[in-house]
Amino acid sequence: MNRLTFHGHATFEIVTHEGTRLVVDPFLTSNPKATIGADYFCDRLDYVLLTHGHFDHVEDAWRILSETGATLISSVEICAYAETVLGHENNHGLSIGGGHDFPFGRVKMTTAIHGGRLDAEGGDGYTCPPGGFLLHLGKTRLYLAGDTALTADMQFLEDRVDIAVLPIGDNFTMGPEDAARAANLIKPRTVIPCHYGTWPPIEQDPERFRSLVEPRSDVLVLAPGETHEFE
Ligand code: NI
Ligand code: MN
């Protein structure tokens, strides 16, 4: 089984069935909802995936990358920053719409409508297209939308996603109503809400989101530290 663990906000840990360990958007140090710190990933990690450059997605990425030597998978622009400014050696840049077959599975970068600033030391001048990820892991297609508005592009994901991780916080991303419309376009088996409840502007009731989505898709509300296993 593959394991998907939520660490609060938009941070997800994935351990694949054969033991490859990934983290998506590691935001732990300043994340009031996280139950772990960045040290949790520093002993062993294989891949860091970054949807975009905002602080609440990349805060702990650079330290984790330098301590583990993990491979960064992100936009070509964020990978260029990691290589040029940080001297990080293992980077695999993708452009929006492009994918690559990694040893653990396929990663495709998907569109997101959001901001492109890179909140990192020496990151001025790196304007980075925001995105999401469509992962093929074993039998499961896992879509992490990243920070995004509801987009018409989501209709192209119809019946191509088994589990969709969608932001519902509103203010910076889709709110519950738009995320429910996204779920209705994509038609995944399961929807996992994220990017809510971290700070007052993105306070949401996930049970209200559930009432907007079910029974078309199942809504799985993960508390920080909780794991969902899938094939
Ligand atoms: Ni953002
Ligand atoms: Mn964010």
> pLDDT tens-digit profile of 126-182?
999 999 999 999 999 999 999 999 999 999 999 999 999 999 999 999 999 999 999
Structure token digits, residue 71 = 């491979």
Q: At 83, phi and psi to the nearest 5?
A: -75, -50
- Residue matched to tokens 């569109």: 111
Whole-number Cα distances in Å, 62 to 35, 90, 109, 143, 187: 20, 12, 20, 24, 35
Instruction: Pick the ligand that lies closest to the CA of residue 117.
Output: 1
Give residue for tokens 């995944």: 188
Q: 2-222 adopts what CATH topology? A: Metallo-beta-lactamase; Chain A (3.60.15)
Q: Which ligand is closest in space to the CA of residue 202? A: 2
Supply the pTM of this predicted model: 0.98
Q: How close is the Cα of 207 to the center of ligand 2, in Å?
A: 21
- The count of C-alpha atoms lying within 13 angstroms of the C-alpha of 65, restricted to the half-sphere facing its C-beta, is 27
Between the CA of 131 and the centroid of ligand 2 the distance, in Å, is 12
pLDDT in tens, 15-60: 999 999 999 999 999 999 999 999 999 999 999 999 999 999 999 9
Contact status, residue 78 vs residue 50, Cβ threshold 8 Å: yes
Domain parsing of the chain, residue ranges: 2-222
> Residue 118's Cα: distance from chain center in Å?
16
Contact 110, 134 (CB under 8 A): yes
Considering every ligand atom, which ligand is closest to the CA of 131?
A: 1
CA of 9 to the centre of ligand 1 (A): 11
How far is ligand 2, taken at its centre, from the CA of residue 167, in Å?
Answer: 9
Give the Cα separation of 194 and 209 in Å (integer). 11
Residue with tokens 């009031």: 32
Which ligand lies nearest to the CA atom of residue 195 in the structure? 2
**Which contacts (CB < 8 Å, 24+ apart) does range 68-73 have?**
68/41, 68/42, 68/43, 68/44, 70/45, 70/46, 71/46, 71/47, 72/47, 72/48, 73/47, 73/48, 73/49, 73/102, 73/107
Return the pLDDT at 12: 98
State which residues have CB under 5 angstroms from ligand 1, the bound ion: 54, 147
Q: Between 206-213 and 176-186, two packed helices, what is the crossing angle to 10 degrees?
A: 40
Q: Where does the pLDDT of residue 125 fall: very low under 50, low under 70, confident under 90, or very high at 90 and above? A: confident
